[in-house]
């Protein structure tokens, strides 16, 4: 069977022409038709991933450079795989985080990579908004693979695709995001993306790890709820997304310790039982097993963590394909 | 833009019926037959051909949809939306008939063949088109043609199908 | 020196409660006569100020001239000329240079440089602590002998409360204020902008209002304890205004200043990672602006000071988190604040008071008035002239303004320093 997954909101929609974007810097500024176009394109890409011969010539002759100022294995690997499935040439470049503030400026670095011949630059950077500073000065297409606490747009899109794929819809779903929401670009991008698509998002975590101003942002972003009690938060949830907890949070005094976090915010089978019977469990990875997710939940039937990884490649293929055509505009 | 009808609804119905007969005649067995519509308008045409064959052969014919966008040779100029491929079963060993509405330069057929070959190894690939308007840029010809419509290069051949456009009709429009 | 006569302008001199149309006569660099019609003698220079406002030269209690050490950002030569264009005749420069102004020779160096290369009067501020490190007191008494007008570690808060208490005790007999940059560094750690939903949307670490207010509260209590004069630099929050009001009601010797950008711009300016709007303290909210304006109106806030903080292009053309904080403020000060007058938030005489008599009082009443006998520092501006901000035309080396491309109303036409014209607007207004 050679089949693209049918993604409901896009099945009948005609979205050609919805894409006029040279860069993917953020998800907050995506329109609903743009997101739907990405979803439709992703389902076509996913069919390619199911083939024995997982390669199409769409980006033949294009050069994709991954430039990571922060360590990453999965995101970088996912982008590299995506580019290769589309027949692009891929060059991986690693920059030392220390060179962020000294020596060559970011804009100069990007201009150099462009001069080498990059058509698309995929960048991860520890400072929020680094891509915004660079974008006006580069001719190549720039893709944000994560910037500081700010955004991880392709992660939000792959999470959206995974939910759509499993649930058939987004509007009206209750999605609970649990953990270190404040420092999580994954959480931030998911909040903006999911609420835009009509989901009700509840963020839940220790008070010190919740972002500022969300409670008062109801007018700006209807559909956001904030909760510090996980039992209340996950009640009747359709989706529970746990976030990775960084060890530094304990050291900097934001959390008393791991035991406290596990007691308060780990998703275990007891808490999972409070959600809807058909709920799904997500995590952007890498999972600290038995910290954010109890092992039986992570490896249980509700977990879609591996789907997220596969869908990540398809979403990134879609983004690369869509960007490649916008270059001359 | 002045335009004139070159295929009416009735003529289209007759052409499709004739092409269905030709496909059966040429391929002897219908069991091995797979009709693959090239997105967008090739898909309803493939379904109509299959329905015709099913009516007079009393055997259902498998129909698939092929999205060959990612194989186009003009991707730098525009980025058409990708709608995906949907072909039931395997294509290995099948007699695949690619179906499209118009055969013009031959570039779409080339891309479609490349896309198809990446999916498996069919026994044979044939090409069925409702309209052949000439001006080939590649060494490609159709096996089944609804109607040959000689046109000039700057004329526009517009195919309308009930499934996609609400009516059956082919028009030729000139550029003036 | 020829007599200088400014004719038919609306003279506003808050120090003398004067607001009327009239003439000013300047003889030998000194204000001779104010208000009554002056008949021009032979050879005197006449400036027609009809339709214009004539006031004492503005006094800026808080600016950064960057020399020595950061000459790529600004020099005394460029900074004083930019200030003159903004209508200033006296400016007080912060000591966060490289090396910092924490000893007598360095203060003398800046003063001599200012005399040689400066267009207007430069009054240095000395460091509170050596190297601005917050560890030991600088040579405060020696520097006061060289004419510093106060002490500040601006950019840094003196975190050690005991050291701050000592600094206040030490400064009190010198008769000079402690000018404090009130920001608790732990509460503001990694902070890039105001804390709130915009910081969350941008993924930037926020600086809560409390980071400033905690520091303001501590220093007010130390001023109460020591009896020293505390001057709070660049107030930015509603809570700080309330604390200052509380202190003044108790006759604690405390004064406060606010910067033009904190009176006119909100945190939304940062959207899109606009590094030109990155400043410390950060741009806050409408609520804070309203409280700051109330503070100006009821006398809680005494002074408007620019916190002119010029930076080079590359200091700002980078990631938001790596960008320098500060706004090049001399040349847009009047234009941006005149909007508060136009919208009825403050009166024109009040605005001028906060730019002249307010800081003048802190400087011992030496500057900021048109009292006959005073040195003739005069600013003439057209309150109705519209102009568009083009940082490329700034005299300051710092082109870092969040107001680029905006149309402002109110423009300095002429600046007189010690009886001599140091700036004239080259575009003739009808």
Tens of pLDDT, residue by residue over A99-135, are 555 567 899 999 999 999 999 999 999 999 999 999 9
pLDDT in tens, A3-13: 767 554 433 34
| A153-307 carries CATH number 3.40.50.1370 | yes
pLDDT in tens, A127-167: 999 999 999 999 999 999 999 999 999 999 999 999 999 99
pLDDT in tens, B138-161: 999 999 999 999 989 889 999 999
State whether residue C160 is helix, strand or coil: coil
Is the alpha carbon torsion for C110, C112, C114, C118 positive or negative?
Answer: negative
What is the pLDDT, as a whole number, of residue A102?
56
How many CB atoms are closer than 10 A to CB C180?
30
Hey, what's the torsion of the CAs at C331, C334, C338, C340, to 10 degrees? 90
By the CB < 8 Å criterion, does A119 face chain C? no
Judging contacts by C-beta atoms under 8 Å, the chain C residues touching residue A192 are 201
Domain that holds residue B29: 9-151
Q: Quick one: how far is CA C215 from the chain centroid?
A: 21
How far is the alpha carbon of A13 from chain B, nearest alpha carbon, in Å? 10
Which candidate from A3, A41, A55 shows the least CB-CB separation from B82?
A41
CATH architecture of C4-54+375-424: Roll (2.30)
Q: Report how far residue B34's alpha carbon sits from residue C39's, in angstroms, rounded to the nearest whole number.
A: 107
Q: Is residue B131 in a domain?
A: yes
* Sequence spans of domains, chain A: 13-151+309-324, 153-307
* Sequence spans of domains, chain C: 4-54+375-424, 57-362
A10-19, A250-259, B59-68, range with the lowest pLDDT: A10-19
How far is the alpha carbon of A238 from chain C, nearest alpha carbon, in Å? 25
What is the pLDDT, as a whole number, of residue C430?
38
By the CB < 8 Å criterion, does C200 face chain A? yes
C43 sits in the region (left: phi over 0; alpha: psi -120 to 50; else beta) called left
pLDDT in tens, A193-206: 999 999 999 999 99
CB C377 within 8 A of CB C57: yes
pLDDT over 70 percentage in chain B:
97
B neighbour chains, 3+ CB pairs within 8 Å: A
pLDDT in tens, A245-273: 988 877 788 888 899 999 999 999 999 99
Residue B76 has pLDDT above 80, yes or no: no
The helices-and-strands tally (H runs, E runs) of chain C is: 13, 17
How far is the alpha carbon of A45 from chain C, nearest alpha carbon, in Å? 31
Judging contacts by C-beta atoms under 8 Å, the chain A residues touching residue C314 are 105
Of residues C130, C57, C124, the one with CA closest to residue C99: C130
By the CB < 8 Å criterion, does C99 face chain A? no
Q: Which residues contact A51 (CB under 8 A, 6 or more apart)?
A: A2, B118, B119
What is the pLDDT, as a whole number, of residue C43?
84
What is the pLDDT, as a whole number, of residue C426?
67
By the CB < 8 Å criterion, does C286 face chain A? no
Which CATH number do you get for residue B140? 3.40.50.2020
Token readout for B5 is 């009808």
| A13-151+309-324 carries CATH number 3.40.50.1370 | yes
Residue A2 has pLDDT above 90, yes or no: no
**CATH no. of C57-362:** 3.20.20.140
Q: Do C200 and A212 touch (CB under 8 A)?
A: yes
Residue A328 has pLDDT above 80, yes or no: no
Give pLDDT tens digits along chain C (430 positions).
Answer: 789 999 999 999 999 999 999 999 999 999 999 988 888 778 899 999 999 999 999 999 999 999 999 999 999 999 999 999 999 999 999 999 999 999 999 999 999 999 999 999 999 999 999 999 999 999 999 999 999 999 999 999 999 999 999 999 999 999 999 999 999 999 999 999 999 999 999 999 999 999 999 999 999 999 999 999 999 999 999 999 999 999 999 999 999 999 999 999 999 999 999 999 999 999 999 999 999 999 999 999 999 999 999 999 999 999 999 999 999 999 999 999 999 999 999 999 999 999 999 999 999 999 999 999 999 999 999 999 999 999 999 999 999 999 999 999 999 999 999 999 999 996 554 3
Q: Which residues contact B126 (CB under 8 A, 6 or more apart)?
A: B23, B26, B95, B96, B97, B98, B143, B144
Number of domains into which chain B is organized? 1
Which candidate from C201, C203, C317 shows the least CB-CB separation from A148?
C203
What is the pLDDT, as a whole number, of residue A13?
43
Q: Do A56 and B77 touch (CB under 8 A)?
A: no
Which candidate from A101, A128, A220 shows the least CB-CB separation from C204?
A128
The stretch B39-66 carries a mean pLDDT of: 94
Selected for mutation to probe chain A from C193, C196, C203 (highest A CB count within 10 Å) is: C203
Q: Which residues contact C411 (CB under 8 A, 6 or more apart)?
A: C334, C335, C381, C382, C385, C387, C425
Paired sense of beta strands A63-68 and A120-125, if any? parallel
Q: Report how far residue A170's alpha carbon sits from residue C263's, in angstroms, rounded to the nearest whole number.
A: 43
Which candidate from B79, B82, B114 shows the least CB-CB separation from A44?
B82
Q: Is residue B29 in a domain?
A: yes
Judging contacts by C-beta atoms under 8 Å, the chain C residues touching residue A28 are 201
Q: Do A47 and B91 touch (CB under 8 A)?
A: no
């Amino acid at each position: 069977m050679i089949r693209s997954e049918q993604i409901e909101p896009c099945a009948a929609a005609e979205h050609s022409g919805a894409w006029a974007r040279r860069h993917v810097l953020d998800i907050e500024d995506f329109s609903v038709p743009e997101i739907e176009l990405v979803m439709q394109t992703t389902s076509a890409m996913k069919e390619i991933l199911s083939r024995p011969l997982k390669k199409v010539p769409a980006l033949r002759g294009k050069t994709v450079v991954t430039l990571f100022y922060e360590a990453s294995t999965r995101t970088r690997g996912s982008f590299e795989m995506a580019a290769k499935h589309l027949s692009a040439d891929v060059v991986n470049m690693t920059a030392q985080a220390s060179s962020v503030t000294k020596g060559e400026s970011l804009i100069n670095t990007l201009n150099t990579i462009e001069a080498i011949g990059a058509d698309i630059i995929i960048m991860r950077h520890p400072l929020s908004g680094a891509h915004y500073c660079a974008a006006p000065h580069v001719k190549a297409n720039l893709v944000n693979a994560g910037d500081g606490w700010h955004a991880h747009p392709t992660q939000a899109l792959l999470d959206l695709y995974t939910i759509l794929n499993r649930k058939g819809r987004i509007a009206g779903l209750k999605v609970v995001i649990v953990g270190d929401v404040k420092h999580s670009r994954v959480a931030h991008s998911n909040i903006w993306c999911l609420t835009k698509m009509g989901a009700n998002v509840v963020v839940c975590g220790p008070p010190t790890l919740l972002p500022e101003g969300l409670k008062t942002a109801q007018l700006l972003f209807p559909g956001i709820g904030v909760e510090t009690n996980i039992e209340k938060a996950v009640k009747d949830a359709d989706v529970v997304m746990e976030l990775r907890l960084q060890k530094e949070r304990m050291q900097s005094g934001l959390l008393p310790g791991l035991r406290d976090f596990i007691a308060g915010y780990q998703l275990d089978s007891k808490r999972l039982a409070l959600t809807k019977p058909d709920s799904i469990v997500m995590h952007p990875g890498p999972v600290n097993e038995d910290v954010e997710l109890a092992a039986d939940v992570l490896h249980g039937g509700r977990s879609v963590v591996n789907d997220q990884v596969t869908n990540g490649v398809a979403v990134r293929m879609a983004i690369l394909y869509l960007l490649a055509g916008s270059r001359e505009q | 833009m002045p335009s004139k009808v070159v295929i009416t609804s009735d003529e289209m119905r007759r052409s499709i019926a004739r092409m269905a007969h030709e496909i059966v005649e040429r391929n002897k067995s219908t069991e091995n037959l797979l009709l693959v519509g090239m997105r967008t308008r090739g898909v309803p045409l493939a379904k109509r051909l299959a329905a015709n064959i099913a009516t007079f052969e009393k055997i259902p014919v498998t129909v698939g949809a092929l999205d060959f966008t990612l194989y186009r040779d003009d991707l730098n100029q525009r980025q058409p939306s990708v709608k995906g491929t949907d072909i039931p079963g395997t294509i290995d060993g099948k007699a695949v008939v690619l179906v499209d509405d118009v055969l013009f330069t031959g570039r779409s057929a080339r891309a479609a063949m490349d896309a198809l070959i990446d999916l498996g190894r069919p026994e044979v690939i044939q090409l069925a088109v409702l309209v052949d308007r000439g001006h080939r840029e590649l060494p490609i010809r159709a096996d089944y043609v609804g109607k040959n419509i000689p046109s000039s290069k700057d004329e526009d051949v517009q195919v309308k199908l009930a499934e996609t456009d609400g009516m059956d009709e082919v028009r030729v429009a000139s550029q003036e | 020196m020829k007599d200088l006569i400014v004719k038919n302008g609306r003279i506003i001199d808050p120090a003398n409660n004067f607001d009327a149309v009239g003439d000013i006569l300047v003889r030998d660099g000194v204000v001779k006569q104010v208000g009554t019609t002056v008949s021009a003698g032979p050879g005197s220079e006449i400036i027609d100020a009809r339709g214009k406002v004539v006031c004492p030269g503005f006094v800026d209690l808080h600016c950064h001239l960057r020399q020595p050490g950061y000459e790529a950002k600004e020099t005394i030569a460029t900074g004083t000329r930019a200030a003159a264009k903004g209508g200033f005749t006296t400016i007080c420069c912060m000591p966060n240079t490289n090396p910092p102004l924490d000893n007598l020779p360095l203060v003398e160096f800046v003063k001599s440089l200012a005399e040689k290369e400066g267009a207007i009067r430069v009054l240095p501020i000395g460091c509170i602590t050596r190297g601005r490190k917050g560890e030991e007191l600088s040579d405060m008494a020696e520097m006061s002998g060289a004419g510093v007008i106060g002490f500040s570690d601006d950019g840094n808060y003196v975190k050690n409360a005991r050291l701050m208490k000592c600094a206040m005790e030490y400064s009190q007999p010198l008769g000079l204020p402690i000018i404090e940059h009130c920001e608790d560094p732990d509460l503001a750690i990694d902070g890039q902008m105001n804390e709130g939903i915009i910081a969350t949307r941008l993924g930037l670490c926020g600086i809560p209002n409390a980071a400033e207010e905690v520091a303001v509260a501590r220093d007010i209590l130390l001023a109460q304890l020591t009896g020293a004069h505390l001057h709070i630099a660049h107030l930015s929050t509603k809570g700080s205004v309330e604390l200052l009001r509380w202190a003044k009601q108790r006759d604690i010797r405390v004064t406060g200043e606010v910067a033009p950008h904190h009176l006119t711009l909100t945190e939304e300016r940062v959207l899109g990672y606009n590094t030109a709007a990155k400043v410390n303290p950060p741009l806050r909210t409408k609520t804070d602006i309203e409280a700051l304006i109330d503070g100006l109106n009821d006398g809680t806030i005494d002074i408007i000071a620019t916190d002119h903080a010029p930076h080079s292009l590359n200091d700002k053309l980078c990631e938001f988190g790596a960008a320098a904080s500060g706004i090049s403020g001399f040349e847009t000060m009047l234009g941006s604040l005149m909007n508060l007058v136009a919208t009825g938030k403050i009166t024109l005489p009040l605005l001028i008071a906060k730019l002249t008599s307010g800081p003048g009082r802190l400087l011992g009443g030496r500057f900021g008035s048109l009292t006959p006998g005073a040195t003739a520092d005069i600013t003439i501006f057209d309150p109705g002239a519209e102009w568009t901000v083009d940082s490329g035309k700034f005299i300051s080396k710092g082109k870092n303004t969040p107001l680029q491309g905006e149309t402002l109303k109110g423009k300095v036409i002429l600046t007189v320093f010690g009886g001599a014209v140091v700036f004239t607007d080259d575009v003739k207004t009808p």
